């Protein structure tokens, strides 16, 4: 049964997809593209105004708006109950909630780092709280977590963000192992640099920068595949993965920040 469930959906037509982190950037573009492909979307983020505006431009009908705060379990649970009541249980859940602040250890701020980690990583646990039991009882479902190529190896100026995405990668790997044969498909999306309000904060060069439209197209293609990891762009993926196998002494010499001057 597990094999059948994992390959059942060959298109997005009439799939009910709960997209968390839908109001801007990659999430908003992914919502537009999924709607064009025939999906029925339950849209979630903290910003109800932006969600309503996005819903109004989506192709098709049957879409819903369910604002939530992923840092609060009660908020997640209320949204889950509401969207199930209105549209039935989702076929797919995409966790795309994201926060980002560039931060070096020399400019460390605990509150900011914790906020980023809570949104990017801990929020996924809160979403899984209602989703996992429901999917396991049905022996079917599709869970998609959004990591980052930045989570594959420690990088400078990424305290909080890099660690949170490393956690998401590990969580997705755990889920894939534990849910093998259960009928629940697990996938991990690891984007590189995508031009959004978050990456606009960066003051450094971002190689192979993509548009949200390009990122969404790559995610859409990956979601219909049997791949576990949806990594892009390819050239940056190859570079980051190569760094993982570089001798530590050379890696830290090449990547380390220069000491900050007071």
Segment 155-205, tens digit of pLDDT: 877 888 999 999 999 999 999 999 999 999 999 999 986 766 665 565 556
Give residues with Cβ within 8 angstroms of 190, minimum separation 6.
147, 148, 149, 151, 152, 169, 229, 230, 231, 232, 237
Indicate the pTM of the whole model.
0.88
Confidence at residue 36, expressed as pLDDT on a 0 to 100 scale:
96
Lateral strand order in the sheet of 184-191 = 64-65, 40-44, 16-20, 92-95, 141-146, 184-191, 229-232
Decide if 161 is catalytic.
yes
For residues 17 and 170, give the distance between their C-alpha atoms in angstroms, rounded to a whole number: 23
Q: How far is CA 140 from the centre of its chain?
A: 20
What are the structural domains, with CATH classification, of the chain? 15-255 (3.40.50.720)
Q: What is the mean pLDDT of residues 63-76?
A: 98
Q: With contact defined as beta carbons under 8 Å apart, do 143 and 185 qualify?
A: yes
- Taking Cα atoms as reference points, which of 200, 212, 164, 171 lies closest to residue 188? 171
Catalytic member of 161, 245, 251, 252: 161
In the structure encoding, which two tokens stand for residue 196, read together?
């959004």
DSSP element (H, E) containing 161? helix 161-178
């Amino acid at each position: 049964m597990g094999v059948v469930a994992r390959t059942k959906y060959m298109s997005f037509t009439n799939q009910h997809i709960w997209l968390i982190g839908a109001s801007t950037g990659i999430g908003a573009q992914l919502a537009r593209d999924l709607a064009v492909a025939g999906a029925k979307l339950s849209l979630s983020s903290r910003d109800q105004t932006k969600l309503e505006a996005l819903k109004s431009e989506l192709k098709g009908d049957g879409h819903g708006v369910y604002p939530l705060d992923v840092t609060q379990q009660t908020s997640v649970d209320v949204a889950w109950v509401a969207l199930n009541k209105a549209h039935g249980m989702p076929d797919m859940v995409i966790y795309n909630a994201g926060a980002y602040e560039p931060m070096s250890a020399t400019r460390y701020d605990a509150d900011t780092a914790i906020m980023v980690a809570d949104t990017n990583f801990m929020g996924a646990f809160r979403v899984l709280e209602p989703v996992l039991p429901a999917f396991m009882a049905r022996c079917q479902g599709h869970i998609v977590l959004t990591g980052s190529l930045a989570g594959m190896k420690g990088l400078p100026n990424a305290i909080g963000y890099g660690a949170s995405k490393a956690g998401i990668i590990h969580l997705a790997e755990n889920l894939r192992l534990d849910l093998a044969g259960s009928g629940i498909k697990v996938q991990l999306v690891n984007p590189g640099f995508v031009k959004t309000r978050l990456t606009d904060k960066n003051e450094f060069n971002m190689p192979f920068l993509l548009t949200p439209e390009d990122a969404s197209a790559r995610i859409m293609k990956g979601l219909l595949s049997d791949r576990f990891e949806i990594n892009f762009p390819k050239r940056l993926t190859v570079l980051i993965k190569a760094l993982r196998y570089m001798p530590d002494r050379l890696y830290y010499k090449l990547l380390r920040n220069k000491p900050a001057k007071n």
